[in-house]
Amino acid sequence: MNTIGNIFRLTSFGESHGAAIGGIIDGMPPGIDIDMAFIQSELDRRKPGQSDLTTGRKEGDRVEILSGVFEGKSTGTPIGFIVRNENQHSADYDNLRDIFRPSHADYTYFCKYGIRDHRGGGRTSARETISRVVAGAFAKLVLRQKGICIRAYTSQVGNISLSGTYQDYDLALAETNPVRCPDPETAERMAELIREVKAEGDTIGGVITGVITGCPAGLGEPVFDKLHAALGSAMLSINAAKGFEYGEGFAGVTQRGSEQNDIFTTDGKGGITTQTNHSGGIQGGISNGNDICFRVAFKPVATLLREQPTVGTDGNTTTVQARGRHDPCVLPRAVPIVEAMAAIVTLDKCLQAKC
Amino acid sequence: MNTIGNIFRLTSFGESHGAAIGGIIDGMPPGIDIDMAFIQSELDRRKPGQSDLTTGRKEGDRVEILSGVFEGKSTGTPIGFIVRNENQHSADYDNLRDIFRPSHADYTYFCKYGIRDHRGGGRTSARETISRVVAGAFAKLVLRQKGICIRAYTSQVGNISLSGTYQDYDLALAETNPVRCPDPETAERMAELIREVKAEGDTIGGVITGVITGCPAGLGEPVFDKLHAALGSAMLSINAAKGFEYGEGFAGVTQRGSEQNDIFTTDGKGGITTQTNHSGGIQGGISNGNDICFRVAFKPVATLLREQPTVGTDGNTTTVQARGRHDPCVLPRAVPIVEAMAAIVTLDKCLQAKC
Amino acid sequence: MNTIGNIFRLTSFGESHGAAIGGIIDGMPPGIDIDMAFIQSELDRRKPGQSDLTTGRKEGDRVEILSGVFEGKSTGTPIGFIVRNENQHSADYDNLRDIFRPSHADYTYFCKYGIRDHRGGGRTSARETISRVVAGAFAKLVLRQKGICIRAYTSQVGNISLSGTYQDYDLALAETNPVRCPDPETAERMAELIREVKAEGDTIGGVITGVITGCPAGLGEPVFDKLHAALGSAMLSINAAKGFEYGEGFAGVTQRGSEQNDIFTTDGKGGITTQTNHSGGIQGGISNGNDICFRVAFKPVATLLREQPTVGTDGNTTTVQARGRHDPCVLPRAVPIVEAMAAIVTLDKCLQAKC
Amino acid sequence: MNTIGNIFRLTSFGESHGAAIGGIIDGMPPGIDIDMAFIQSELDRRKPGQSDLTTGRKEGDRVEILSGVFEGKSTGTPIGFIVRNENQHSADYDNLRDIFRPSHADYTYFCKYGIRDHRGGGRTSARETISRVVAGAFAKLVLRQKGICIRAYTSQVGNISLSGTYQDYDLALAETNPVRCPDPETAERMAELIREVKAEGDTIGGVITGVITGCPAGLGEPVFDKLHAALGSAMLSINAAKGFEYGEGFAGVTQRGSEQNDIFTTDGKGGITTQTNHSGGIQGGISNGNDICFRVAFKPVATLLREQPTVGTDGNTTTVQARGRHDPCVLPRAVPIVEAMAAIVTLDKCLQAKC
């Protein structure tokens, strides 16, 4: 299924070297001012070629809205959009026509479909995430009106990680460096590691942390569509994602209940809050009004600019070495994608909960 | 939504202290021999009161099949089933009517619905997982015919964890001890920790590892319904789950691509395999024929047999102390639930892929 | 799929001679007073044995609610319910084990599933509609609060039909006679025809008219889930339904646009209404605030109490004659089923539209 | 929802006077030869300006495929496509900005969304059906390989109707006249009526008959997604559709069961067939291998080239008279749309049934 969401739904299409990437957003609330400059700026955040840490592939990546917006406002009808593919060096991939690249989806797609578009990974290319970022931008426009803000940042690259939690940093600083880490000093060390890895023709993984603030209590649908299950599914659907956790996550399994429980207390304004937020803003699958905090693990990029042994479609062993332009680390460009997926899920759950 | 799955679908109902827990399985393939003893035995694995490590609540938990099975075989029509609730000490929960228990879903359900069944957690009780285990047992009967086997085991309790991977153990041994850890010596240390924690009126978390063997290549639906995204969502929907990872997961983010890539090789029988399985059996969201391996983090149980401060529905501070019978650690009884969810997802993806 | 609805969803199970018929209602709004006597009374309206015009099969058909209701109110969690099958004369059907009854689903189910429960038609029995009536009763409880009222009545049996529209009758009178026709004189003629047909061991078809009043403008989701498309699908899913039309329907194709257009006019209270309602309350797939009016065609019951030639599962020709108790005309008992389906669809669309 | 289908799914977008109409086809089987000339020819069948019986609006309506096709074959990934809108005389609609046209969706959309694109009916324009025809053409390419053929034709315009059933005509002749009626003499009378109505600035309705041949037994999903319920919903979702019936439909309600039952008989080749096909190829919601036959009623077009009274958005009475180019009868151009919807539903049910 190339569709995500229940009320606010994105259906996407497009291959890396096809004519265009695009999608349809169904369920966009009507009457929302559509800030096209903002939408394009979100897309620019995931664009290749932003720094020496990312692929040199230059794509204009201009989004064209084809429907659902009238005189600057959403009408409630589906929003069709496309981003034309340009600057395709398809010939760079001719050698991949008959080869399965290690740890890519070449082999599994071939098993599943019996046919594959080998150019640039076809449908499995991260260019597919363009549709997600566009839909996420539309979602952010709605969430903004509800006072809900979504931020993500690089919290770990290889073995270099931030020591603090999201509350220890000014998250706006993440956008001031190419790694998208809110601590400039750590960001520089991460960048250095990425450059080092790149020089070796190798790649490296990392972790992105996401934070949703301003979220009302009551979002999430029990029992199979809990808020964190929907967020987890959305994050795990991003290329190269290998893990998802929220609140105290995996590290919290060593704690006692008496340590991890969030004690309720009055907020002094007639409402209820908690003394701590070990739960990550979600209890029983439903938001409790606290900040929602989660982490996503990304593996090192599978494409290496060095020779690797592999097997061809003819069953014979051979070698493969990527040509062309590739990211040594997905983290910097994955930050806006994580935000987009969080925005899509959050808005969907808001609309389900009629918030 | 109380439904999971696309082709093989479970819809569940039931509260802890209501008349019954149950569900409807839609999409069960026809003509499958229904081994009722096996289905009941799976349910018995999650039953309370199996050892001194779990709650003393005694429930017969007998499943009654109401439809969809004729003369011992599935007919392709929906399978309705119920498990009557018994031995309900609802009075044990009278004190919770007007109190929000810390890190439970009492508060969030109240925010969402404006009403809640406070008895035993109502719908948020882990008794809801009875439906999952029944559906998982039906799924296992089908998967068995396809040569697909699903196993889970406790790999960590608190800070006691297995040092090896699933290949280092005889997983059948997991069922020989109450912790469901395949290493008897580690199991005993885990049991000791749970008893210790229980004696303090406290609780502890842990990790369950799941393994799917015999899975053909080609399962999983790009791009939003990748196999690991569906597995992740299913696992995260289990009560107390806080994280999901597959393959090298979070730990693998420190690796280089050259370390983590799985090199393809010929299998000597005309087919293709990989030298390693860092990917955890899934590439690009589609199974590649290797064993599928994942891990699920569970937080310490929120219910403590000791006094905790909290707030009542009237907004005043108060205290709460659980009465009744509660698990100090969900891990042992969560093992069959993890297996059930893995079985449901795997069968659903098999049927989608027409395997 | 045994599920209908998007936000308010019914999933059903059950065979005619299995242990029980039942279902799960997901998406019931919380806080609604659940009038159990009303729900049972709705079920009693479709019960066999109400008069000499229907089957003599005597079923208590008592509904048991298993979840989702707490202290007399809905909680927002799924409502599981069952109706035990009783008074099963399964032996009456032994002769059907190896025979395909004409114009029944015996043959098509066998083609599709390779196995079938021959007793009483199994899943294809009209007893399946019990679940619909229960869910419809819950939906009516919610709709009532919104001022929306759903009525259906028998408007044609064989070639005896009402000459007027729904506005020409007091619809409450439909419940005063066994045919459920609001014109007592016509009802008597219809009853006479049914008795006559029954005496011949034959059966007869007819038409049920449905009316939804009090419906706000704005219900229905373009473009594939238009209100009348959802209503049509729901009605056509009822056993023996062969056609659906709304507004002027088939008869209106001979009209000119200048005759059939509904001219807008002011309603004298600052609002807008139409001078006529040829559209049947729906324009462009969305309700316009007028009464919604539709008609459903039902074929004559396929089960005859006379001998018919047929073919056995062994491929040889044979004959079949129904034993047991069967309706000569589905219309009288289908009226509450039509209402139930209309209630389910209308509530679902209300919740989608956040009305 | 702007999506139809379960396994083979179309999601559509686009307004009459927006940049483009388009959609995404998800679930297209891989490895199918994509005959672009055929797809364009299907689109040409619904194109305006084909004869003096349809609107004079001239649209090139060239479809551009953006993804999912590689080297002439489908790849199993989603097929994005667009058709640019051209020749938009948006100014023709300036007078409609503040007016609700009688029996159009102007008022209901405004009620539902609070905003509307008034140009050419916006989303409610029949130009939306372009997406359906494109998806239907893809479906036909797959069905053709399975030996399934879908045909539709105009069987009634106003009070002029064909006297025979589909078996009495050479359906290929339907494409030889602008009305798309397989009986040339009747076609000419229908054309005459349409011209007459057009000359009066008026419009007229009619009936389209659809026939699916070569369909295997076993298609259709009980109990809510019966084959005829899915077909009915799809047909009713077409602009101006007011009714759907299959088999003997509404007329058959006057028959006795002994007249309408289809008696099973051996087909002389070891298989089973029926002596008659009153059921219209569907029994119990599942195809039985016979030809599937259905009829769809279309109302007269709401847009009149004569003055009508109406009400403006300001609540004041006014008048409206269509300018521009409009069809006096939808039937001729609706034939390929009916076929497209039938193809989409049939392929979807084939894939669900794994045929």
- Per-residue exposure over B149-162, b if at least 16 CB sit within 10 Å of its own CB, e if not: bbbbbbbbbbebbb
In the structure, what pLDDT confidence band is assigned to residue A133 with cuts at 50, 70 and 90?
very high
D22 with A112: Cβ contact below 8 A:
no
Find the range with the poorest average confidence among A54-58, A72-76, C285-289, C298-302: A54-58
- Per-residue exposure over D154-191, b if at least 16 CB sit within 10 Å of its own CB, e if not: bbbbbebbbeeebeebebeebeebbbbbbbeebbeebb
Mean pLDDT, residues B165-171: 97
Q: What does the pLDDT read at residue B219?
A: 98
Q: What is the CATH number for B312? A: 3.60.150.10
A75 with D113: Cβ contact below 8 A:
yes
Kindly give, in sequence order, each residue whose CB lies less than 8 Å from that of residue B57, ignoring residues fewer than 6 positions away.
Answer: B48, B49, B87, B324, B325
**Residue A33, class by beta-carbon neighbours within 10 Å (0-12 exposed, 13-18 middle, 19+ buried)?**
exposed
Q: Which pLDDT tens digit goes with each residue over C107-157?
A: 999 999 999 899 888 999 999 999 999 999 999 999 999 999 999 999 999
| Distance, CA of B147 to CA of D195 (rounded, Å) | 67
Average pLDDT, chain D: 95
In the structure, what pLDDT confidence band is assigned to residue A322 with cuts at 50, 70 and 90?
confident
User: Which amino acid, residue B241?
Assistant: A
* % helix, strand, coil for chain B, step of 5: 35, 25, 45
Binding residue ranges of A for NADP(+):
46
* % helix, strand, coil for chain A, step of 5: 35, 25, 45
Mean pLDDT, residues D59-68: 93
In the structure, what pLDDT confidence band is assigned to residue A120 with cuts at 50, 70 and 90?
confident
Pairing label, strands D272-274, A99-100: unpaired
Q: Which pLDDT tens digit goes with each residue over B170-226?
A: 999 999 999 999 999 999 999 999 999 999 999 999 999 999 999 999 999 999 999
Q: How far is B195 from chain C (nearest CA, A)?
A: 35
Mean pLDDT, residues B20-46: 97
D14 with A66: Cβ contact below 8 A:
yes
Distance from chain centroid for Cα B188: 22
Element (H, E) at C244: strand C241-246
Question: Helices (DSSP H) in chain D: which residue ranges?
Answer: 36-46, 106-113, 129-145, 184-199, 227-236, 257-260, 331-352
Q: How far is B40 from chain D (nearest CA, A)?
A: 28
Mean pLDDT, residues B334-347: 98
| Beta strands, E only, chain B | 3-4, 9-13, 20-26, 63-65, 69-70, 73-74, 79-84, 99-100, 149-157, 160-161, 206-213, 241-246, 264-266, 272-274, 282-283, 286-287, 292-298, 308-312, 317-320
Q: What does the pLDDT read at residue B56?
A: 67
Q: Which pLDDT tens digit goes with each residue over C88-109?
A: 777 777 888 999 999 999 999 9
Mean pLDDT, residues A137-163: 98
Distance from chain centroid for Cα B84: 21
Chain D residues in contact with B222 (beta carbon < 8 A): 77
- Per-residue exposure over A126-164, b if at least 16 CB sit within 10 Å of its own CB, e if not: bbbbbbbbbbbbbbbbbbbeeebbbbbbbbbbbebbbee
Q: Which pLDDT tens digit goes with each residue over B34-53?
A: 999 999 999 999 988 888 88
Q: Could you tell me the CA-to-CA distances from C71 to B115, C31, C140, C304 in Å, in that order?
A: 10, 10, 20, 47
Residue C158 in tokens: 């064989």
Question: Helices (DSSP H) in chain B: which residue ranges?
Answer: 36-46, 106-113, 129-145, 184-199, 227-236, 257-260, 331-352
Residue D295 has pLDDT above 80, yes or no: yes
Q: What does the pLDDT read at residue D39?
A: 98
Q: What does the pLDDT read at residue A60?
A: 86
C222 with A77: Cβ contact below 8 A:
yes
| Distance, CA of C346 to CA of C339 (rounded, Å) | 10
Element (H, E) at A70: strand A69-70
In the structure, what pLDDT confidence band is assigned to residue D270 with cuts at 50, 70 and 90?
confident
Residue D155 backbone dihedrals phi, psi, to 5 degrees: -110, -10
Of A2, A78, A114, the CB nearest to D26: A2
B155 labelled ligand-binding? no
Q: Which pLDDT tens digit goes with each residue over A22-61?
A: 999 999 999 999 999 999 999 999 988 888 887 766 678 9
Q: Which pLDDT tens digit goes with each residue over B315-330?
A: 899 999 987 678 999 9
In the structure, what pLDDT confidence band is assigned to residue A209 with cuts at 50, 70 and 90?
very high
B330: closest CA among B292, B280, B294, B296?
B296
Number of domains in chain A: 1
Mean pLDDT, residues C56-71: 89
- DSSP letter at A33 equals B
Residue D248 in tokens: 């003997």
DSSP A82-136: EEE--S--GGGGGGGTTEE-TTSSHHHHHHHHS----GGGGGGSGGGHHHHHHHH
Find the range with the poorest average confidence among C9-18, C63-72, C164-173, D309-318: D309-318
Find the range with the poorest average confidence among A243-252, B255-264, D309-318: D309-318
Q: What does the pLDDT read at residue B52?
A: 83
Residue B245 backbone dihedrals phi, psi, to 5 degrees: -145, 155
Q: What does the pLDDT read at residue A56?
A: 67
Q: Which residues of B touch D (CB under 8 A)?
A: 77, 222, 354
Q: What does the pLDDT read at residue C53?
A: 83
Chain C residues in contact with A354 (beta carbon < 8 A): 354
Beta bridge partners of A31: none
Q: What does the pLDDT read at residue B57?
A: 63
Residue at token pair 């000569």: C328
Element (H, E) at C186: helix C184-199
Of D77, D222, D354, the CB nearest to B354: D354
Q: Which pLDDT tens digit goes with each residue over B127-140?
A: 999 999 999 999 99
pLDDT-above-70 percentage for chain A: 98
Contact between residue C15 and residue C37 where contact means Cβ atoms under 8 Å apart: no
Residue D56 has pLDDT above 70, yes or no: no
- DSSP letter at B17 equals T
Chain B residues in contact with D29 (beta carbon < 8 A): none
Q: What does the pLDDT read at residue B50?
A: 83
Element (H, E) at A196: helix A184-199
| Distance, CA of A213 to CA of A291 (rounded, Å) | 5
Residue D90 has pLDDT above 90, yes or no: no
Residue A89 has pLDDT above 80, yes or no: no
Residue A5 has pLDDT above 80, yes or no: yes
| Distance, CA of C255 to CA of D300 (rounded, Å) | 7
Q: Which pLDDT tens digit goes with each residue over D70-89?
A: 999 999 999 999 999 986 77
Range of the domain at D320: 3-352
Residue C59 has pLDDT above 90, yes or no: no
Q: Could you tell me the CA-to-CA distances from C115 to B123, C227, D217 in Å, in that order?
A: 36, 36, 14
In the structure, what pLDDT confidence band is assigned to residue D54 with cuts at 50, 70 and 90?
confident
Q: What does the pLDDT read at residue A335?
A: 98
Mean pLDDT, residues A131-154: 98
| Three-class SS of D240-309 | CEEEEEECCHHHHHHCEHHHHCCCEEECCCCCEEECCCCCCCEECCEECCCCEEEEEEECCCCCCCCCEE
In the structure, what pLDDT confidence band is assigned to residue B270 with cuts at 50, 70 and 90?
confident
Q: How far is C111 from chain D (nearest CA, A)?
A: 6
- DSSP letter at D216 equals P
- Per-residue exposure over B224-256, b if at least 16 CB sit within 10 Å of its own CB, e if not: bbbbbbbbbbbbbbbbbbbbbbbbbbbebbbbb
Mean pLDDT, residues A148-168: 97
Kindly give, in sequence order, each residue whose CB lies less than 8 Å from that of residue A42, ignoring residues fewer than 6 positions away.
Answer: A133, A134, A136, A137, A140, A336, A340
**Cα end-to-end distance, chain B, whole Å:** 27
Residue A101 in tokens: 């690249």
Residue bearing the bigger pLDDT, C31 or C120: C31
In the structure, what pLDDT confidence band is assigned to residue B92 with cuts at 50, 70 and 90?
confident
- Suggest the residue from D264, D282, D301 to mutate for an interface test with chain C (most C CBs closer than 10 A): D264
Q: Find, in chain C, the residue whose alpha carbon is nearest to that of B76.
A: C113
List all chains that touch chain A, counting a touch as 3 or more CB pairs closer than 8 Å: B, C, D
Element (H, E) at D210: strand D206-213
Q: What does the pLDDT read at residue C346?
A: 98
In the structure, what pLDDT confidence band is assigned to residue B81 with cuts at 50, 70 and 90?
very high
Residue C56 has pLDDT above 70, yes or no: no
In the structure, what pLDDT confidence band is assigned to residue C256 with cuts at 50, 70 and 90?
very high
In the structure, what pLDDT confidence band is assigned to residue B348 with cuts at 50, 70 and 90?
very high
Average pLDDT, chain C: 95
**If DSSP codes are grouped into helix, strand and coil, which group holds residue B154?**
strand
Q: Which pLDDT tens digit goes with each residue over A292-314?
A: 999 999 999 999 999 999 999 88
| Distance, CA of B304 to CA of B101 (rounded, Å) | 10
Find the range with the poorest average confidence among A319-323, D51-55, D202-206: D51-55
D12 with A24: Cβ contact below 8 A:
yes
Residue D268 has pLDDT above 90, yes or no: no
CA C67, B320, B103, A255: dihedral to nearest 10 degrees? -130
Q: What does the pLDDT read at residue D93?
A: 77
Q: What does the pLDDT read at residue D324?
A: 67
Q: How far is A320 from chain B (nearest CA, A)?
A: 11
Q: Which pLDDT tens digit goes with each residue over B152-163?
A: 999 999 999 999
Residue C71 backbone dihedrals phi, psi, to 5 degrees: 50, 40
Residue C252 has pLDDT above 90, yes or no: yes
Q: Does residue B223 have a cis peptide bond before it, meaning omega lies within 30 degrees of 0?
A: yes
Q: Could you tell me the CA-to-CA distances from D233 to A97, A316, B88, D236, D318 in Å, in that order?
A: 43, 52, 46, 5, 36
Distance from chain centroid for Cα D65: 21
Q: Could you tell me the CA-to-CA distances from B202 to A290, B194, C246 in Å, in that order?
A: 25, 9, 64
Binding residue ranges of A for FMN:
123-125, 239-240, 284, 299-303, 325
